[in-house]
Amino acid sequence: MSNSTKLVLDFDNTENAFSVLSNSELKQSAWLFGMMKNATLVNLGSRATMLALKFRLPITWAIKRTIYEQFCGGSTLKECVPDIDKMAKYGVTTMLDYGTEGKQTESDFNKTMRFTNDSILFAEQNETVQVVVVKLTGLMEFRLLEKLQNGERLNPREQKFYETGLKRIDSICRLASEKGVQIYIDAEESWIQDPVDNIALDMMRQYNKEKAIVFNTYQMYRHDRLAFLKKCVSMAKAEQFIMAAKVVRGAYIDKERARAKNKGYPSPIQPNKATTDKDYNEAMLFCVENYEFISVCAATHNAESSLLLANKMEEEGIPRNHPHFTFCQLYGMSDNLTFNLSKAGFTASKYLVYGPVKDVLPYLVRRAQENSSVTGEVGRELGMIKKEIKRRGI
C-alpha cells in the first residue's frame, strides 16, 4: 500500500467515541469498568449473583442499574428504543439479539422464535436496525446438534424435534428475507458447529440468491476456519449465492481447550494469540479481495484488525458505505471504534442484547469476565473513559 492512500482513523479520539454518553453516564461507566478490573471481585460477584437469582433474592434492580445498563438495551424491544435512537443520531446502526441462552424445552424454543420474529418486524419498521441475531441452540436442543456432529443416528422422537427446530430456523430466515432484514447466526462450541454450519449454508443457498440475508459466523481462533471460510466462498461462487460471514476471533477458548484436554483430542484452537490475529487479519484481506461474492461483518474490538480492513477497502477504492462491509462491536464496549468508524463514513454497528435480567445473565457474566482481563484491547476501555472524563473536565 502506498503511504498516500493510507487512511487516517483516530481510534483514540475520545470526543467522538463517547459523544453519545452524558457526563453522568460516562462516570457510571468509569465506575463499572473500574470494578470489573478486579478479577477476584468479578468471579465472586458472578457466582453470588447467579445464586441470588436462583434463590429469588431481590437483586434484579441492582443488576439493572449497573452492569445491565452498560451492556444491554432493555427487557423489551420498546425499552431498547432510546438507545437505538441515540446511536442512530451518530450514524450507528443496531443489531438486535434476544439474549436468552441455555434453554432446553420446546416451549422455550418456540418463545425464542416468537421473540426473534418480533425483532424482525421491529427492524422492518426501524431504518437503523438492519440485523437480528440468533443462536441455533436457542431454537433446538444442543444435544441433538452434538449427536449429529458425532455421526450418531437420531431416534424417531429426536428426529421429529430436529425437524421442528429446522422449521423454526427456516421460518425466521423466510420472514427476514420477506422483510429485507439480515439474520446473523452466532458461532458456538466446536463440538456442535458442523451441523450449525450446514444449516447456515443451507439457509444461505435458499435466501442469499440476490442479496446477503443470512450470515454464518467464522471463529478465527480455530486453526481450520480460514480455510473453511475460503471453501465457503468457492461454494458460493460455484452455486451462485452470496456468501455472508460475520468474522470473530471466538468466545469459548477456555472451554474448548479444557474439553480437548479432558477427552484427549487435539485442540481446535490456534497455538497462540498471534496466530489467531494472523488468520483474522488474513480473513479481512481475503474478504476485500473477494468482495463481490462475500458480504462481511468484522465483529471485533481489535483496533488493528478494524484499521486493516478500513485501509484495505480504501486502497481498493471500495466505497466506505459499501453494503458488503460492516464493522460491529458489542453495545457498551469499544465505542472508540464504532463511533470513529461511523464518523469516517463506514457502516458501524452495535450488537444490542435485550431480554429479562435473569435470561441475559450468562451474557453479562461473560462481559464482566472478559473485561476483568487486563490484557488486550478491552483493557484499554477504562483508560479511554478516564481520558474523556479529563478532556471534559468533569
Ligand X SMILES: Cc1cc2nc3c(=O)[nH]c(=O)nc-3n(C[C@H](O)[C@H](O)[C@H](O)COP(=O)(O)OP(=O)(O)OC[C@H]3O[C@@H](n4cnc5c(N)ncnc54)[C@H](O)[C@@H]3O)c2cc1C
The smaller minimum CB distance to ligand X, of residues 63 and 378, is found at 378
Is 299 a binder of ligand X (CB under 6 A)?
yes
CB 111 within 8 A of CB 76: no
Taking the C-alpha atoms of residue 298 and residue 294, their distance in angstroms, rounded to an integer, is: 12
Taking the C-alpha atoms of residue 226 and residue 276, their distance in angstroms, rounded to an integer, is: 10
Is 253 a binder of ligand X (CB under 6 A)?
yes
Query: Which residue among 16, 149, 219, 372 contacts ligand X (CB under 6 A)?
Result: 219
Query: Which residue among 74, 250, 268, 332 contacts ligand X (CB under 6 A)?
Result: 250
Is 47 a binder of ligand X (CB under 6 A)?
no
Question: Exposed, middle or buried: residue 3 (CB in 10 Å: 0-12, 13-18, 19+)?
Answer: exposed
Other beta carbons less than 10 A from residue 312's beta carbon = 20
Taking the C-alpha atoms of residue 97 and residue 21, their distance in angstroms, rounded to an integer, is: 22
Is 33 a binder of ligand X (CB under 6 A)?
no
Is 273 a binder of ligand X (CB under 6 A)?
yes
Question: Exposed, middle or buried: residue 266 (CB in 10 Å: 0-12, 13-18, 19+)?
Answer: exposed
Q: In 3D, which of 307, 380, 300, 383 has the Cα closest to residue 346? A: 307
Taking the C-alpha atoms of residue 204 and residue 188, their distance in angstroms, rounded to an integer, is: 18
CB 35 within 8 A of CB 331: no
Is 328 a binder of ligand X (CB under 6 A)?
yes
Is 251 a binder of ligand X (CB under 6 A)?
yes
Is 381 a binder of ligand X (CB under 6 A)?
no
CB 132 within 8 A of CB 181: yes
Is 376 a binder of ligand X (CB under 6 A)?
yes
Instruction: State in angstroms the smallest separation of the CB of 302 from ligand X.
Output: 4
Is 217 a binder of ligand X (CB under 6 A)?
yes
Q: In 3D, which of 235, 238, 179, 185 has the Cα closest to residue 211? A: 179
Instruction: State in angstroms the smallest separation of the CB of 228 from ligand X.
Output: 14
Please compute, for residue 158, the number of CA atoms within 13 A of its CA located in the half-sphere on the CB side: 12
CB 161 within 8 A of CB 141: yes
Q: In 3D, which of 232, 214, 141 has the Cα closest to residue 174? A: 214
Only segment of 65-73, 293-301, 313-321, 380-388 that touches ligand X (CB under 6 A): 293-301
The smaller minimum CB distance to ligand X, of residues 60 and 347, is found at 347
The smaller minimum CB distance to ligand X, of residues 60 and 183, is found at 183
Instruction: State in angstroms the smallest separation of the CB of 257 from ligand X.
Output: 9
The smaller minimum CB distance to ligand X, of residues 141 and 377, is found at 377
Beta strands in 85-181, from DSSP E residues, in sequence order: 93-98, 129-134
Would you state the cell numbers that stand for residue 372, as one nine-digit string?
476483568
Is 245 a binder of ligand X (CB under 6 A)?
no
Would you state the cell numbers that stand for residue 175, as one nine-digit string?
420472514
Query: Which residue among 187, 212, 341, 364 contacts ligand X (CB under 6 A)?
Result: 187
Is 197 a binder of ligand X (CB under 6 A)?
no
Instruction: State in angstroms the smallest separation of the CB of 335 from ligand X.
Output: 12
- How many residues bind ligand X (CB under 6 A)? The answer is 27
Is 225 a binder of ligand X (CB under 6 A)?
no
Instruction: State in angstroms the smallest separation of the CB of 210 from ligand X.
Output: 25
The smaller minimum CB distance to ligand X, of residues 60 and 361, is found at 361
Instruction: State in angstroms the smallest separation of the CB of 89 from ligand X.
Output: 21
Taking the C-alpha atoms of residue 68 and residue 70, their distance in angstroms, rounded to an integer, is: 5
Is 272 a binder of ligand X (CB under 6 A)?
yes
What part of residues 331-370 is at the interface with ligand X (CB under 6 A)? 351
List interacting residues with ligand X (CB under 6 A).
Answer: 186-187, 217, 219, 221, 248-253, 269-270, 272-273, 276, 299-302, 328-330, 351, 376-378
